[in-house]
Amino acid sequence: MLQNKFKILIVGDVFGKVGREVLMQTLTSLRKKEDISFLIVNGENTTNGRGINKNHYNFYNDLNIDVITLGNHSFDELEIYSFINESNNIIRPYNLIGKYPGVGYKIYSKFGLSISVFQFIGNTYMKERNENPFLIAEEVIKRVESDIKIVDFHAEATSEKVAFGYLLDGLVDLVYGTHTHIQTVDLRVLNKGTYYISDIGMTGDLDSVIGIEKDSSIAKFKDGKMKTIIKENYNLTQFSALLLDIDLDTKKISNVERIYLVNGKD
């Protein structure tokens, strides 16, 4: 770590076994190269593409992952009910409707700074209907006191994501999208100083349709029938992430860059 700054790495949706392997292999070199001090991972697709079980939660802990955000598959693996409330690093969408365990944000301390990480889930084109994030996010975020505020917005429609970014502009330091598994190129600073990107992408098998075997996915679009087959091809992989520079003097993000590695290379 440089004397006046530290780095945060945010990794896009880790999908299945390939995603876990790519994450494990890439982190070793990336941590050394970039001197990363805080790590956030979207883990809602960790176990067979849908949810996260106890074994894979322990996998993240063994990698010293600071924060695991989830999404619409948060509770697909029923094991999560047995450990989510005892965890100190899992964040599920704040605006889920129903009495779900877990929390929608947490505050962490690093090098004398407080970092809050929130997650909200969108409604557009999602099977699940959740409490409208546009009606509750501002109030929740305003009452949380921290130096750095980071929001994972797990949503399908880019229009909803962009609108949500503008809603939170000036209230948080970063709004980043997850769920669609395709890294977008619209990383920018909004009018009031919030960094924004529509989706940070996926970590896993590139030679697939967002993690699903190609022919299986094509069949779905042809006739509506689909047998979900998780692709496990290690010949062509992707690692998608954001790298944040945090200035310890200003207590703000000083720079954000996209990382996209195919088979470990830029």
Q: Which residues are catalytic, by number? A: 73
Q: Report the distance separating Cα 96 and Cα 108, nearest Å.
A: 22
Looking up tokens 């070793």, which residue turns up?
Answer: 28
Looking up tokens 């809603």, which residue turns up?
Answer: 167
* Buried-exposed string 114-150: b where 16+ CB fall within 10 A, e elsewhere: ebbbbbbbbbeebeeebbebbeebeeebeeeebbbbb
CB atoms within 10 A of CB 98: 8
| Contacts for 35 with CB less than 8 Å, ≥ 6 apart | 1, 2, 6, 7
Determine the residue type at 179.
H
Q: Which of 9, 7, 14, 8 is nearest to 178 (CA)?
A: 14
CA dist 151 → 93, 154, 214 (Å): 10, 9, 31
Q: Report the distance separating Cα 120 and Cα 132, nearest Å.
A: 9
Element (DSSP H or E) covering residue 7: strand 5-11
